[in-house]
Amino acid sequence: MADLNGRVALVTGAGRGIGRATALRLAQQGAQVVVNYNASEAPAEEVVAQITADGGKAVAIKADVSDAAQIDAMVGRVTKELGGLHILVSNAGITRDNLLMRMSQSEWDDVLNTNLRATYFLVKAVSRQMVRQRYGRIVAVSSVVGLTGNVGQANYAAAKAGLIAFIKSVAGEFAQRNITANAVAPGFIETDITAGLPEEVKKAILGRIPMDRYGRPEEVAAAIAFLAGDDASYITGQVLNIDGGMVMF
């Protein structure tokens, strides 16, 4: 495990699922973690409490990541109160699934705003601090759907594919400043969303996964933590699939 002592990490959407597991993992490795949330205050505070109980340091900050002003305020508070910001994990995301012919503009806009535009706001907000300190690790949570597309998820797939292209562009712009930017592309992971799927849908999904099981949030968190640490200092502009072999080719 990479030693993240002295690092400050901001994880968006960190109250549950992959974000929660990532916050816990980064804290376990020594980082001081900012647990961002928007609506889920109680779960976010539970993450902070668990980190604190385990001897780590964490703080929960409310901010709607689709709002640039709220992001700027959050990043400003973090850098002022914690003395820096070294790791950004852009994880917050939503789904508004529908077939394209039935998809409303609000369903399209809500997903693009939260899943793609927010990462632009976040990276822009943290980049000045990272350039100033000549160090940064940026990890965006994309999806295998951003590589393959998915029926009923044109909005989600477009946002996740856009994240990949965005991260590659960011990686090129900041490579000479000791700032890396990478993405992870999870497949089907055991979260609240997958838990609510009908059994026949779960069975069909498992049939597409060579490893014949769902992934765990902790497995995604481990990959994110690797990319956020110094062991990955020569890795940038990459996409790491965490999908049990679902997308091999």
Give the model confidence (pLDDT) of 93-121 as tens digits: 988 999 999 999 999 999 999 999 999 99
Model confidence at 146: pLDDT above 90: yes
Each residue of 26-52: pLDDT tens digit? 999 999 999 999 988 999 999 999 999
**Given 37, 135, 156, 214, which residue is catalytic?**
156
pLDDT at 159: 97
Does residue 2 register a pLDDT over 90?
no
Of 52, 91, 60, nearest to 77 (Cα)? 60
pLDDT computed for residue 84 by the predictor: 94
16 pLDDT higher than 90: yes
Average pLDDT, the chain: 95
| Catalytic-residue membership of 156 | yes
pLDDT in tens, 181-206: 999 999 999 887 777 778 888 888 89
